[in-house]
Amino acid sequence: HSFQVEGQTLDDATRVRLLLHKLDASAYEKYSSYILPKIPRDVTFNEAVSTLMDLFGPQQSLFNARYVCMKLSKNPNDDFFTKAGRVNRECEKFKLVDCIDSSNVLYLYSSDDAFIRLNVLEKIEADPKCTIQTLTKEFKRLLNLKHETRMIDNIGSTRMQAVKQSTPHQPGRHQQQPS
C-alpha cells in the first residue's frame, strides 16, 4: 500500500520494475512464467500487483477466512481486547469488510457476558457498519457498568451482613411473656 502511495509519481514501467526487484529469484521466475506470453515490462503496475496477489497472496475462500476469524476469537484465556484485535487483524488480512457481524461477535464474549453480548448485538443492529473499535469501546463501557454494579451490590451485601451480625439473637423474643 505505501509503495502505491509513495511511488505514484513514478511511471508505470518504473513502478513495475521496482516492485519486481523485491522478489527473490524463484518468485520472479514463477511470476514471469505465469504472465507469458507477456514479458514483465509489458505489464501495468495494477496488473502486476493483481497477478502477484493471485500467486502469492492469501489463498483462502471467504467461508474459510470467516471460519478462521471465528475460530481465533474463541480462545477462552484471552481478554476481549486481545480477541477483538485478533478478529480485526484476520478480517483486514482477507479484506472481509463484513467480517464483524453478529455471528462473529457472539464468539467474542464468554457465556458470563450475556448482558454485554445483548447490548453489543443491539449496537450492531442499529449500525451494521460499526467497526471492531466501536464495539470495543462499547464493550469497555458495558464492562465498566457491570463492574460498578457489582461494587454497589457488594456494598449493599456488606451492609446487610454487618446489620445481621450487629443484631444479637435473643432467644424467646417472639414468644409471649407469661403475665
> Is the pLDDT at 110 greater than 70, yes or no?
no
Return the residue matching grid coordinates 453478529.
102
Q: Percentage of residues in the chain with pLDDT exceeding 70?
A: 58
Question: Is the model's pLDDT at 103 over the cut of 50?
Answer: no
Which residues are within 8 A (CB) of 75 and not within 5 positions of it... i.e. 6 or more apart?
Answer: 83
Distance CA 8, CA 65 (A): 31
Rounded CA separation 157/173 (Å): 26
Task: Give me the percent of the chain exceeding a pLDDT of 90.
Answer: 0
Q: One-letter amino acid identity for 65?
A: A
Q: Give residue 142's identity as a one-letter amino acid code.
A: L
Write the single-letter amino acid at 58. Answer: P
114-156 per-position pLDDT tens digit: 777 778 778 777 876 777 777 778 878 888 888 888 888 887 6
pLDDT digits (tens, 9 = 90+) for 64-76: 665 666 565 556 7
